[in-house]
Amino acid sequence: MSGPIGYDSDQAQHNVVLLTEVPEEIPAAAVIRQVDGNAAEDTSAEFTRRLEQRARELSSQIDGVRAWVVQNAQILSHAVGALQERDAINATDAQQALSVIDSASQPAPSTGSTSTGSTSTGGGGTSAFLAELPR
């Protein structure tokens, strides 16, 4: 079972805004490195030491995380813009096709009749439709 594939540009733009706000909310490396703990007992001192080490490791990666989030927000923003542009082009193409079909379905005004009494169709119909198709 499959469903339609699509996107909601408003939702995508909202996600871009959220992604651009995230780096500002991530604490600085110095804040992440700061660990307060009880060093009075060996077990708690060992836990605090391990926690400090993990905090240093995490803080060394934080600038990379910020850059990665910003980069992906920009990529998402460009993708949404490209999809919106493509939608606009598709809408224009569809409108042009509809216009061609409408004009082809209308017979051209007759320029006269033949001696046998039959009326001329002018340039309407299929030949007019084919002539207006983009090449």
* Domain residue ranges of the chain, discontinuous segments joined by +: 10-102+123-132
Is the pTM here over 0.85, yes or no?
Answer: no
Would you call 93 helix, strand, or coil by DSSP? helix
Pick the CATH number of 10-102+123-132 from 1.10.3470, 1.10.1660, 1.10.340, 1.10.287: 1.10.287
Q: Is 122 helix (H, G, I), strand (E, B) or coil?
A: coil
pLDDT tens, residue order, the chain (135 aa)? 566 666 677 787 787 787 777 777 777 777 777 777 776 788 888 888 888 898 888 888 888 888 888 888 888 888 888 888 888 888 888 888 888 877 777 776 665 555 444 444 454 555 555 556 655
Output the CA–CA distances (angstroms, integers) from residue 94 to 33, 59, 98, 100, 101, in the order listed.
58, 53, 6, 10, 10
